[in-house]
Amino acid sequence: MLKITSDLHTHTTASHGRGSMEDNVRAAVELGLEKIAITDHGPAHLFGVGIKNSEILLEQKRMAIALAKRWPQIQILVGVEANVVSQDGQLDVPESVLDQLDLVLIGLHPRVRPASLAAAKALVWNNWLARFRAFESQAIAANTKALLSALERYRVDFVVHPGLHLKIDTLALAKAASRCGAALELSGGHGAEREYVEKVLQTDVKLVISSDAHKPQDVGNFSKALMLVEEFQIPAERIINAER
């Protein structure tokens, strides 16, 4: 039986979540997890989804130190779910802040403030046009280039729910992530398309299973991902936070 030892993708009220850091830590302890990561949405996420500014991440690092004294039985990590905001891979968190975090997660999302007019054309306009089949391929190419550029440009631990919101070339991403030492997420909250899993397994890229919890009661909920692990018989060795 596969055991997931840590939940490395959770959110708090600092971004789009409904619980505090301690609420998530408490939920993880109750489940017997070894690690919990707080990874709130980056500040370019619009309509109140993202953190107000990157300094909040450093405040969370300080809070994690205090929480560790209260909850010594679990390792508390602080990272960010950073948004890729340009086709050349720019993230919405300064590198000076990223360097102080335990984890860097990256992803593509709609309703994110692009870094420039050129980025808006590549990552907003192209994806709006992608609803028409004739324009889909150029959106996929732009989205994939943005993620691959971010992998080359930054130290990235894993890519969140690839292809969930904006379509990508999964095989190209998986090969690039493997080359850069990053993992791809199998989301316990969102699941994944079977075609995505099939293409990922054609490469040697590592996977990570996480909840993407936006409320404390969803911390450690890996059910949709574990169903895919069972269906595709994915070995524990491919999953960075799993053991048998």
Contact indicator for 89, 104 with CB cutoff of 8 Å: no
Domain boundaries, the chain: 3-81+98-108+156-243
Domain 3-81+98-108+156-243, second-level architecture? Alpha-Beta Barrel (3.20)
Contact indicator for 208, 4 with CB cutoff of 8 Å: no
Q: Which residues, in sequence order, are CB contacts of 131 under 8 Å at separation 6+?
A: none
> Would the pLDDT of 173 be above 90?
yes
Query: How far apart, in Å, are the Cα atoms of 91 and each of 95, 98, 109, 134, 223?
Result: 9, 10, 12, 29, 30
Measured distance CA(13)–CA(127) in Å, rounded? 29
pLDDT tens digit sequence for 203-226: 999 999 999 999 999 999 999 999
pLDDT tens digit sequence for 61-92: 999 999 999 999 999 999 999 999 999 999 99
Which residue in 190, 188, 172 sits closest to 180, CA to CA?
172
Q: Hey, which residues does 3 pair with through a beta bridge?
A: 243
pLDDT tens digit sequence for 115-171: 999 999 999 999 999 989 899 999 999 999 999 999 999 999 999 999 998 999 999
Measured distance CA(162)–CA(54) in Å, rounded? 23
